[in-house]
Amino acid sequence: LVPLLVLWVRCQPGEIIGGWEATPHSRPYMAYLEIQDGVSTSLCGGFLVSENFVLTAAHCNGNKIIVVLGVHDITKQEQSQQVIPVRCQYPHQDYDKKSHNNDIMLLELERKARLNGYVGLIPLPVAHQRMHPGTVCSIAGWGWTSAHNNLSSDTLREADVEVMQDAACPRNPGGIYRNYNPSTMMCVGDPEKGKSSFKGDSGGPLVCQQTAQGIVSWGSKVGTPPAVYTRVSTFIPWIRKTMRMLQP
């Protein structure tokens, strides 16, 4: 069981396993998160759901988070980039560090993002909507590409992955999916195809039919699919309520 978060002190960020480089700025909702927690710095993904809120995983928390929007290559200062500090972090009140249940967090930005051709929103699903097994979705991130090296691509990578039946993440005692909860999690990625999110991709969206259906949460230590995603549709009431409460 490993949260898909990568520490810079250990390695350079790599990329999605079995993926390819995304067309620059083809995913204007993607957010790159630089997280400082004491002396360590880590990275996560996230996605813009309103002008002043980014949705990500609750385990992507830290003392200080900087959000970079409109980014493709993290090593360059692209004209398209908007760098916005996070004013406040709102992890789900029932997030469980051990089981990764309710692994979802809203980040309130210090100022509104400017929506343009490089920075945009992604729609959220209808509450409690479920994707049929076999639905092909896509993932994107700046995380590792392999469990065996720390070769990094500084550009956004993407891959297509398949929604699996819940039974593909079996809750065997002692097994890696023992904490899988079908009401709050999604089992995604065909083991035969080998494509998956991995360390550093945490918090990024699972995009199905142009909506953010999942959030990269956790998976196996070696990055073999299926990986587990937070089921966004379960949390729509919480997301709406939290955002409404914080709107000026």
Structure token digits, residue 146: 């392999």
Q: Which of 103, 190, 201, 233 is catalytic?
A: 103
Q: Which of 42, 50, 197, 202 is catalytic?
A: 202
Structure token digits, residue 245: 């409460």
Reply yes or no on whether 94 is catalytic.
no
**194 Cβ partners below 8 Å, 6+ apart?**
17, 18, 224, 225
CA distance 180 to 168: 10
Reply yes or no on whether 103 is catalytic.
yes
Give the CA angle between residues 164, 170, 175 to the nearest 5°: 130
**9 Cβ partners below 8 Å, 6+ apart?**
40, 41
Secondary structure of residue 232 in the 3-state scheme: helix
Chain-centre distance for alpha carbon 165: 20
Reply yes or no on whether 42 is catalytic.
no
- Measured CA distances, 27 to 95, 102, 115, 202, 207 (Å): 28, 25, 13, 16, 10
Q: Which of 59, 72, 92, 100 is catalytic?
A: 59
Catalytic sites, residue numbers:
59, 103, 202
